[in-house]
Structure 1
Amino acid sequence: MLISDTAHLTLLTLIMMRMSGFILLNPILGRKNIPVIVKAGFIMVLTFTIYAFFEGEAFDIESPVEYAFLLLKEFAAGYTVGYIVDLFLMIISFGGHIIDFQLGLSMAKVYDPQTNAQMPITGSLFQAYLMLLFFAVDGHLALIKILITSADIVPYGGIVITQGLAQRVIDIFLQCLEMGMSFSLPILAAEFLVEMGIGILNKVVPQISIFVINIQLKIIVGFGLLIILFSPLSDYLDKIITTMIKTVQGILTFL
């Protein structure tokens, strides 16, 4: 049986929808400050590259309704991958909120044009560093490779969204919360000890005005620890990137 040109066009559009969901909703490759024409061109390049080297078979669609559902599922698959990447980037933001709160800088925020929200100062600095580290270790190439070879795990038109996918996304969300707490834990523990020390000092020497030295001491200790722990925190950022790549690759098995 000869495969019609319509079948090839269907395959091409399915590939395009998966690439669109991944690129447009990806917080790294689809940032809002990237021109739309650049993102559209990148999607088209990926689509035609994958289509040119695709070794599977094209297939005909029985009805427009089935075709629409297939397009939506392909877009949802790409969105799921982008959402997982976004969750791992939120680790730094979540940890930064905790660190800034302990440093007494919870009211100091930086506007993030990507999320249209206020970001903590510490979180924004470490997120910028995470971005640099991500591109330095070729994390973007790893994500693109996973996307290009995703058809080996989930064929185009063969996506089945099950309850297992929702449970897996919830597990990843909880994992990211745990990693965010772990990221801020050294500063959290140190600031807790500082609070205890100030409380003891207030009992021993009540003449000292605690409100005068409390905030300054917390900021000095906090930023001092951030400088001292810069290397271990960098290793932890590298761990976040590695875990993110493995998780993105693993989530495809649930589609």
Structure 2
Amino acid sequence: MELVGFLLPLLGALWWPFARIMAMMMTAPVLGEGMVPVPVKALLAVVLSFLMLPITRTGGMPDPFSLAGVVAMFEQAVIGGVLGLALQFAMAVVTLLGFLASSQIGFSLAQMNDPVNGAVSDVVSVLMSLVAMLVFFAIDGHLVLMAVLGQSFRAWPVGSGYGPLLLQGVALNLGWVFSAAMLLALPIVFSTMVVQLGFGFLNRVAPSLNLFSLGFSLITVFGLLMLVQLVRFIPEHYVAMTNQVLEMLQQQMRMAHGR
């Protein structure tokens, strides 16, 4: 009975941080990918819940099996999911860049099984995703995730709810994902368009030539050369976009502290 009396408060104290951390694990970059098994995510969330106990205040929380407890669990899941989704923005930019580049150089016609996302995608997108993952670990992105998670428990303590500004700020910052990906892919898009226009004028001059088969190969080669020149700048842009996301989250946390 003494052991049960000791474990029940401990399990109650672990449950609320576990709900937030597990939701963040499901949406965070790299850790939230399909290649990481769900049991591994759950085990990691339990370990982090133990480590976060000194900064998670769960006093006065309702019964987890009551309606108020379900609502509180939903609040923790929303906070964790939104934080992981915000940090996913920089990864989404690089992946979207791969899709845009692949569609321009003709690689989107050849699809392959993507073991990372568990779906069918093109080879350029898979390559861009791997580059982004390497940069993520190179800048200690997993440690940044833990730091953001720890600060979130101070900004939005367990049981205090969350401000609607968090959801609004993340939603309004979603637009720059598309604009950043388009700006990164603009050199490839413009160069392939120039090559296609050149072949169009050449086709008017010499219509008897089979320019379709020749032009497709040259566009692919030219697009790959532009992609080689572009890949070396991806780490710098990834770090800049990650810093922008972290600044947005820091601003939301400061506003939550000022409530």
For residue 90 of structure 2, give the secondary structure of its aligned residue in structure 1.
helix
Amino acid at match of 2:20: R
For residue 107 of structure 2, give the secondary structure of its aligned residue in structure 1.
coil
Does the Cα contact within 8 Å between 1:139 and 1:241 map onto a contact in 2?
A: no
For residue 31 of structure 2, give the secondary structure of its aligned residue in structure 1.
coil
Deviations 1:66-110 (A, max 9, x none): 122111110111111222233432222222222111112222123
- The yes-or-no answer on 1:243 pairing with 2:223 is no
- The yes-or-no answer on 1:205 pairing with 2:212 is no
For residue 229 of structure 1, give the secondary structure of its aligned residue in structure 2.
helix
Match of 1:88? 90
Separation in structure 1 between the aligned mates of residue 47 and residue 161 of structure 2, nearest angstrom: 23
Match of 1:233? 234
Q: In the TM superposition, what is the alpha-carbon distance from 1:148 to its structure 2 partner? A: 1.6
Match of 2:50? 48
For residue 119 of structure 1, give the secondary structure of its aligned residue in structure 2.
strand
Does the Cα contact within 8 Å between 1:27 and 1:82 map onto a contact in 2?
A: yes
Separation in structure 2 between the aligned mates of residue 74 and residue 201 of structure 1, nearest angstrom: 61
Q: TM-score, normalised by structure 2?
A: 0.84
Separation in structure 2 between the aligned mates of residue 83 and residue 60 of structure 1, nearest angstrom: 26
Separation in structure 2 between the aligned mates of residue 44 and residue 34 of structure 1, nearest angstrom: 16
Does the Cα contact within 8 Å between 2:76 and 2:158 map onto a contact in 1?
A: yes
Deviations 1:92-133 (A, max 9, x none): 222222211111222212323454322222111011011001
Match of 1:148? 150
Separation in structure 1 between the aligned mates of residue 30 and residue 249 of structure 2, nearest angstrom: 14
Does the Cα contact within 8 Å between 2:96 and 2:125 map onto a contact in 1?
A: yes
Separation in structure 2 between the aligned mates of residue 224 and residue 55 of structure 1, nearest angstrom: 51
Root-mean-square deviation (Å): 2.7
Does the Cα contact within 8 Å between 1:165 and 1:254 map onto a contact in 2?
A: no
Amino acid at match of 2:148: I
For residue 155 of structure 1, give the secondary structure of its aligned residue in structure 2.
coil
Match of 2:109? 107
Name which of structure 1's ranges 92-101 and 138-147 shifts more when overlaid on structure 2: 92-101
Q: In the TM superposition, what is the alpha-carbon distance from 1:19 to its structure 2 partner? A: 1.0
Deviations 1:202-246 (A, max 9, x none): 233334321131101101100111122332233223323333433
Deviations 1:160-205 (A, max 9, x none): 353x444333322211111111121110011111112112222333
Separation in structure 1 between the aligned mates of residue 180 and residue 17 of structure 2, nearest angstrom: 33
Amino acid at match of 1:46: L
Unaligned runs of 5+ in 2: none
Q: What are the within-5 Å matches in structure 2 for residues 14-25 of structure 1?
A: 14-25=16-27
Separation in structure 2 between the aligned mates of residue 82 and residue 110 of structure 1, nearest angstrom: 27
Separation in structure 2 between the aligned mates of residue 184 and residue 129 of structure 1, nearest angstrom: 16
Deviations 1:126-163 (A, max 9, x none): 1101100110111111111110221221111112353x
Q: TM-score, normalised by structure 1?
A: 0.85
Separation in structure 1 between the aligned mates of residue 168 and residue 57 of structure 2, nearest angstrom: 30
For residue 32 of structure 1, give the secondary structure of its aligned residue in structure 2.
coil
Amino acid at match of 2:186: L
Name which of structure 1's ranges 112-121 and 216-225 shifts more when overlaid on structure 2: 112-121
Unaligned runs of 5+ in 1: none
Name which of structure 1's ranges 58-67 and 143-152 shifts more when overlaid on structure 2: 58-67
Does the Cα contact within 8 Å between 1:93 and 1:119 map onto a contact in 2?
A: no
Q: Is the alpha carbon distance of 1:205 and 1:234 closer, same or farther for their aligned partners in structure 2, counting shifts above 3 Å?
A: farther
Identity between Structure 1 and Structure 2 (%): 24
Separation in structure 1 between the aligned mates of residue 166 and residue 56 of structure 2, nearest angstrom: 27
Q: Is the alpha carbon distance of 1:57 and 1:216 closer, same or farther for their aligned partners in structure 2, counting shifts above 3 Å?
A: closer
Separation in structure 2 between the aligned mates of residue 179 and residue 123 of structure 1, nearest angstrom: 16
For residue 112 of structure 2, give the secondary structure of its aligned residue in structure 1.
strand
Does the Cα contact within 8 Å between 2:79 and 2:162 map onto a contact in 1?
A: no
